Amino acid sequence: MTFATTDLCDEFEQEISVLDPIFQSFGGQTRFSGRVATLKLFEDNSLVRELLGEDGQGRVLVVDGGGSRRCALVGDMLGELAVKNGWTGLVIDGCVRDSAALARLPLGVRALAAYPRKSVKLGTGQKQLDIRITGCAITPGHWLYADADGIVVSPRQLV
Protein backbone atom coordinates (compact mmCIF):
# COMPACT_ATOMS: atom_id res chain seq x y z
CA MET A 1 0.00 0.00 0.00
CA THR A 2 1.40 3.37 -0.97
CA PHE A 3 0.15 6.68 0.37
CA ALA A 4 1.52 9.99 1.52
CA THR A 5 0.17 11.67 4.63
CA THR A 6 0.56 14.99 2.83
CA ASP A 7 -1.83 13.81 0.12
CA LEU A 8 -4.26 12.46 2.73
CA CYS A 9 -4.25 15.85 4.46
CA ASP A 10 -4.91 17.63 1.18
CA GLU A 11 -7.71 15.32 0.06
CA PHE A 12 -9.43 14.55 3.37
CA GLU A 13 -8.70 17.68 5.41
CA GLN A 14 -12.13 17.79 7.07
CA GLU A 15 -12.18 14.08 7.96
CA ILE A 16 -8.79 13.53 9.56
CA SER A 17 -6.78 14.43 12.63
CA VAL A 18 -3.02 14.89 12.61
CA LEU A 19 -0.86 14.09 15.63
CA ASP A 20 1.61 16.77 16.68
CA PRO A 21 5.11 16.22 15.28
CA ILE A 22 6.70 14.97 18.50
CA PHE A 23 7.25 11.33 17.56
CA GLN A 24 10.54 9.86 16.40
CA SER A 25 10.76 6.85 14.10
CA PHE A 26 12.42 3.77 15.58
CA GLY A 27 11.16 0.86 13.47
CA GLY A 28 12.42 -0.55 10.21
CA GLN A 29 9.29 0.65 8.39
CA THR A 30 8.86 4.38 7.94
CA ARG A 31 5.45 4.07 6.26
CA PHE A 32 2.73 1.98 7.89
CA SER A 33 -1.01 1.97 8.33
CA GLY A 34 -3.83 -0.07 9.77
CA ARG A 35 -6.87 -0.21 11.98
CA VAL A 36 -6.23 1.13 15.47
CA ALA A 37 -6.16 -0.79 18.73
CA THR A 38 -5.63 1.31 21.87
CA LEU A 39 -4.15 1.03 25.34
CA LYS A 40 -3.99 3.55 28.17
CA LEU A 41 -1.39 2.89 30.85
CA PHE A 42 1.42 4.49 32.81
CA GLU A 43 4.90 3.00 33.14
CA ASP A 44 3.54 -0.57 33.03
CA ASN A 45 3.81 -2.50 29.77
CA SER A 46 1.96 -5.66 30.86
CA LEU A 47 -1.00 -4.92 28.58
CA VAL A 48 1.32 -4.07 25.68
CA ARG A 49 2.76 -7.59 25.85
CA GLU A 50 -0.72 -9.08 26.21
CA LEU A 51 -2.18 -7.27 23.20
CA LEU A 52 0.86 -7.80 20.95
CA GLY A 53 0.57 -11.51 21.77
CA GLU A 54 -2.77 -11.54 19.93
CA ASP A 55 -3.27 -11.76 16.17
CA GLY A 56 -2.57 -8.23 14.96
CA GLN A 57 -4.43 -8.66 11.66
CA GLY A 58 -2.49 -5.72 10.17
CA ARG A 59 -3.50 -3.36 12.97
CA VAL A 60 -1.59 -0.51 14.60
CA LEU A 61 -1.30 -0.38 18.37
CA VAL A 62 -1.55 3.14 19.81
CA VAL A 63 -0.45 3.42 23.43
CA ASP A 64 -1.31 6.40 25.61
CA GLY A 65 1.61 6.08 28.00
CA GLY A 66 1.00 9.47 29.53
CA GLY A 67 4.07 10.87 27.80
CA SER A 68 6.35 9.34 30.44
CA ARG A 69 10.07 9.46 29.72
CA ARG A 70 11.05 7.51 32.85
CA CYS A 71 10.91 4.01 31.33
CA ALA A 72 10.44 2.19 28.02
CA LEU A 73 7.13 0.56 27.14
CA VAL A 74 8.43 -1.41 24.12
CA GLY A 75 11.76 -3.05 23.36
CA ASP A 76 13.15 -5.56 20.90
CA MET A 77 11.31 -8.57 22.34
CA LEU A 78 7.90 -6.89 22.09
CA GLY A 79 8.81 -5.59 18.63
CA GLU A 80 9.59 -9.14 17.52
CA LEU A 81 6.32 -10.35 19.06
CA ALA A 82 4.42 -7.66 17.13
CA VAL A 83 6.01 -8.73 13.84
CA LYS A 84 5.38 -12.43 14.55
CA ASN A 85 1.69 -11.74 15.21
CA GLY A 86 1.01 -9.50 12.21
CA TRP A 87 0.95 -5.98 13.69
CA THR A 88 2.04 -3.30 11.19
CA GLY A 89 2.97 -0.56 13.60
CA LEU A 90 3.17 0.91 17.08
CA VAL A 91 2.66 4.50 18.18
CA ILE A 92 3.82 4.99 21.75
CA ASP A 93 3.18 8.16 23.75
CA GLY A 94 6.19 7.20 25.81
CA CYS A 95 9.61 5.62 25.23
CA VAL A 96 11.10 2.55 23.61
CA ARG A 97 14.41 0.79 24.18
CA ASP A 98 16.64 -1.53 22.12
CA SER A 99 16.34 1.04 19.36
CA ALA A 100 19.04 -0.51 17.14
CA ALA A 101 17.18 -3.85 17.17
CA LEU A 102 13.81 -2.17 16.54
CA ALA A 103 15.29 -0.43 13.50
CA ARG A 104 16.00 -3.84 11.92
CA LEU A 105 12.40 -5.07 12.26
CA PRO A 106 9.80 -4.82 9.47
CA LEU A 107 7.57 -2.79 11.78
CA GLY A 108 6.63 0.86 12.07
CA VAL A 109 7.50 2.23 15.50
CA ARG A 110 6.94 5.82 16.62
CA ALA A 111 7.71 6.99 20.14
CA LEU A 112 8.81 10.08 22.00
CA ALA A 113 12.36 8.90 22.71
CA ALA A 114 14.62 5.96 23.45
CA TYR A 115 15.34 5.23 27.10
CA PRO A 116 17.14 2.18 28.53
CA ARG A 117 15.11 1.53 31.71
CA LYS A 118 12.33 -1.08 31.46
CA SER A 119 8.82 -0.58 32.78
CA VAL A 120 7.15 -2.26 35.72
CA LYS A 121 4.82 -5.21 35.15
CA LEU A 122 1.83 -4.89 37.45
CA GLY A 123 -0.96 -5.61 34.98
CA THR A 124 -2.42 -2.11 35.20
CA GLY A 125 -4.00 -0.10 32.40
CA GLN A 126 -7.02 -0.16 30.12
CA LYS A 127 -7.66 -1.70 26.70
CA GLN A 128 -9.66 -0.59 23.69
CA LEU A 129 -10.95 2.79 24.83
CA ASP A 130 -10.96 6.24 23.29
CA ILE A 131 -7.71 8.05 24.05
CA ARG A 132 -6.20 11.47 23.35
CA ILE A 133 -2.61 11.95 22.26
CA THR A 134 -1.32 15.45 21.50
CA GLY A 135 -4.92 16.62 21.56
CA CYS A 136 -5.90 14.14 18.86
CA ALA A 137 -8.81 11.80 19.62
CA ILE A 138 -8.02 8.18 18.74
CA THR A 139 -10.74 5.56 18.78
CA PRO A 140 -10.33 1.79 18.46
CA GLY A 141 -11.27 0.76 14.93
CA HIS A 142 -10.25 4.07 13.36
CA TRP A 143 -7.45 4.05 10.77
CA LEU A 144 -3.93 5.35 11.27
CA TYR A 145 -1.50 6.31 8.49
CA ALA A 146 2.14 7.19 9.21
CA ASP A 147 5.07 8.14 7.00
CA ALA A 148 8.13 10.38 7.18
CA ASP A 149 5.91 13.49 7.22
CA GLY A 150 3.63 12.58 10.11
CA ILE A 151 0.80 10.56 11.57
CA VAL A 152 -2.82 10.92 10.42
CA VAL A 153 -5.94 9.35 11.97
CA SER A 154 -9.27 8.86 10.23
CA PRO A 155 -12.59 7.31 11.27
CA ARG A 156 -12.61 5.36 8.00
CA GLN A 157 -10.18 3.66 5.67
CA LEU A 158 -8.84 6.23 3.18
CA VAL A 159 -6.69 4.09 0.85
Residue 1 confidence (pLDDT) above 90? no
Whether 120 is in a domain gets the answer yes
CATH number, domain containing residue 137: 3.50.30.40
The mean per-residue pLDDT over the stretch 22-46 comes to 98
Interstrand relation of 32-40 and 143-147 (parallel, antiparallel or unpaired): antiparallel
Closest among 131, 119, 84, 106 to 28, alpha carbons compared? 106
Q: Is 77 annotated as a binding residue?
A: yes
- The model's pLDDT over 117-157, given as tens digits with 9 standing for 90+, comes to 999 999 999 999 999 999 899 999 999 999 999 999 999 99
- 87-116 pLDDT tens trace: 999 999 999 999 999 999 999 999 999 999
Domain that holds residue 13: 5-154
- Asked if the structure places residue 159 within a domain, the reply is no
Q: Into how many domains does the chain fold?
A: 1
Whether 27 has a binding-site annotation, put simply, is: no
Instruction: Give the integer Cα–Cα distance in Å for 64 and 84.
Output: 23
104 known member of a binding site = no
Residue 53 is assigned to a ligand binding site: no
Residue 37, C-beta contacts closer than 8 angstroms, at least 6 positions apart:
51, 59, 60, 61, 62, 127, 128, 140
Q: Cα separation of 131 and 71, whole Å?
A: 20
Model's pTM, two decimal places?
Answer: 0.97
In a domain, 122, yes or no: yes
Looking at residue 57, its pLDDT comes to 97
Q: Which of 15, 44, 23 is nearest to 151 (CA)?
A: 23
